[in-house]
Structure 1
Amino acid sequence: MEIGPISEWVAAIAEILAVVVALFLPYYTAYKAKKHQQRNLRVVLQKLVQAALADEPDSVKTLDIFLKISFLGNTDPANDNLLLVGNQALAILKDPAVAGPDKRDRITDLFSQVHLTLTD
């Protein structure tokens, strides 16, 4: 039984690997982009809420605009929970009946649901 020259075997294996890479590279790229987008959403949400708690000017308005734009551009269901927590935090920040330390405690509890932390 003749199995052929080794160069044909190497070429065949290289072709199979090229096909596998061509088939799965778009899925891997999309997965990495989705993870990167979710990380960016988490970081920006955390920084904007911290700025709002520190009473920086226009921070609540900026957070509101960011959440609206993120909601409209959201195509990933994994980000829905982050956006929901962000909207709940915004409602707490806008509520005049909630005092400063109580706002921080309630937002910290909300953020713990999505594994975010507030720095002091």
Structure 2
Amino acid sequence: MEIGSLAEWVESFAEILAVSVALFLPYYQKRKANKEKNQQAKQIIVRTANKLLQQTNIQESIQFEELTKFISIYLVLATNDTTVTIIQLGDAILNVIGTSDQLEDEQQSQITKLIDDLNKIKI
């Protein structure tokens, strides 16, 4: 019984590897793109919320307007559960702020907790 030459084995292995890459590369690329989008959304919300914690006249600030628009647009574009969770936490931050121009201590602690929850999300 012959098992074939080494060249045939190498060629077969290369074909199997090529087919595997062709099958799984799109999945890997999509997953990587989702991960990058989630990380970016998380960073934007955390950074903007931290800036809002220290501001007075929040309703007229550019950061508040940007965060509101970002969350409303990104919610429509949400493609996976992690994205939805991130956006829901961002929306909760906006709900805590509400119509306040300056945050009280309780609101600041709630927002800080929501930021911590955002930072705990594994992407």
Amino acid at match of 2:11: A
Matched, 1:91 2:95: yes
- Deviation digits for residues 71-100 of structure 1, max 9, x if unmatched? 111111221111111111112223439843
The number of residues matched between the two structures is 116
Q: Taking structure 1 as the reference length, what is the TM-score of the superposition?
A: 0.84
Amino acid at match of 1:32: K
Aligned counterparts, 1:1-120, within 5 A = 1-55=1-55, 57-96=61-100, 99-115=103-119
Measured in 2, the distance between the counterparts of 1:6 and 1:106 equals 66
Gapped runs of 5+ residues in structure 1?
Answer: none
Structure 2 CA distance for partners of 1:73 and 1:36, relative to 1, 3 Å: same
Measured in 1, the distance between the counterparts of 2:92 and 2:102 equals 13
Gapped runs of 5+ residues in structure 2?
Answer: none
Q: CA RMSD in A?
A: 2.0
Contact 1:51 1:59 in 2 (8 A): yes
Measured in 2, the distance between the counterparts of 1:26 and 1:112 equals 33
Q: Whose RCO is larger (CA < 8 A, sep 6+)? A: 2
Structure 2 CA distance for partners of 1:84 and 1:73, relative to 1, 3 Å: same
Measured in 2, the distance between the counterparts of 1:17 and 1:81 equals 36
**Displacement of 1:65:** 0.5
**Displacement of 1:58:** 1.9
